Structures are given as C-alpha cells and as structure tokens.
C-alpha cells in the first residue's frame, strides 16, 4: 500500500475541482458570512459555567442543512457522508482532522432555528442571494425545488 504523501489531499481536491464540483461552485455563489449575523443573534447562548464543548460554527451547521436538502440525507447518513467525502469537507471548511458534528447535533440545529423562528428566514435569504447572483433559470429552479419551504419572513 502506498504511503500517504504530503500533497495527496490537495491533489484529490484539485481533481474534484477539475471535474466541476458543484459544492465548490455553490461556495463561490454564496456570501455565507452574510448569514452569520442572523444565526448568531438567534442562537448565541450564555455559557453556563466553565467546561463543555464550544458550539459548532453556525454557518457551517446551516451549510449542513443545505447538504441534507440537496442530497436528501437523514442525520445519520449526513454525519457519515461528511466524514467520508472530501467535497463535503471542503464545502464545510473542514479538514480531514476536523471534528464533524454527530447525527444528534445535526438533528438539533434546525430544531433550534425553528424554536428561534428563523429557519424560513435564513433559507429565504439563501435563495434570494443565489437569485441575486444571476443564477440562470435552470439552476434557480433546481434550488427552488429543494428550498420550496422558503417564504418571506420577518427581518432580524
């Protein structure tokens, strides 16, 4: 068996790019940071003492919801696929050694967005941003089909 080389991961990612990784393209269309404010305001919690694991990045968690919608995956399958697929890891900004949220954490995130009453708002902003980038009608219909829950909701 061949020993892992220093640039093997980079070479594999470059190969995925040459093949037209759709998630890489989605990352180029989106300004994910524009969603950070609404997510942070709605989900930030006060620390309840020392210790405990810090929360996963809220934007990364929202991107996981996008993956679930695009690939029609349940929480357990999502956890596995993130660990297994380099394209998912790159999309989420994770490295091979990065910590991946478990299925329960993945399940809990949209529950928290619903509790804060912002799930529809964030998905709506996602779709509007894609439309604002001039995505052609075919791609727009594709994304609308997956995110048809989106409706204009209150502003934060």
What pLDDT was estimated at residue 45?
76
Residue 2 inside a domain? The answer is no
Q: Which tens digits make up the pLDDT trace of 75-87?
A: 999 999 999 998 9
Residue 83 confidence (pLDDT): 95
CB 92 within 8 A of CB 81: no
Contact 60, 109 (CB under 8 A): no
Q: Which domain holds residue 93?
A: 20-43+55-146
pLDDT above 90 for 47: no
In a domain, 13, yes or no: no
Alpha helices of 30-57 — where are they, by DSSP H? 36-43
78 occurs within a structural domain? yes
Reply yes or no on whether the pLDDT at 5 is more than 70. no
Into how many domains does the chain fold?
1
Q: Would you say residue 61 lies in a domain?
A: yes
Q: What is the pLDDT of residues 102-152, one digit of tens each?
A: 999 999 999 999 999 999 899 889 988 888 877 655 554 555 555 544 443
Answer yes or no: is 1 within a domain.
no
Does a structural domain hold residue 129? yes
On average, the pLDDT of the chain sits at 81
Residues 6+ apart with CB under 8 A from 48: none
Question: Is residue 11 one of the residues assigned to a domain?
Answer: no
Residue range 31-51: mean pLDDT, rounded:
86
**Domain annotation covers residue 12:** no
């Amino acid at each position: 068996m061949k020993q892992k080389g220093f640039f093997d991961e980079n070479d594999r990612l470059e190969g995925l790019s040459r093949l037209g990784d759709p998630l890489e393209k989605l990352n180029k269309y989106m300004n994910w940071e524009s969603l950070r404010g609404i997510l942070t305001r709605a989900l930030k919690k006060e620390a309840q003492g020392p210790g405990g694991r810090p929360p996963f990045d809220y934007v990364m968690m929202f991107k996981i919801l996008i993956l679930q919608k695009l690939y029609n995956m349940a929480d357990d399958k999502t956890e596995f696929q993130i660990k297994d697929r380099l394209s998912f890891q790159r999309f989420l900004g994770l490295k091979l050694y990065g910590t991946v949220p478990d299925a329960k954490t993945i399940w809990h995130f949209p529950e928290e967005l619903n509790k804060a009453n912002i799930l529809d708002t964030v998905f709506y902003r996602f779709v509007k941003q894609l439309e604002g980038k001039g995505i052609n009608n075919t791609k727009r219909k594709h994304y609308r089909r997956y995110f048809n829950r989106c409706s204009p909701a209150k502003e934060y």
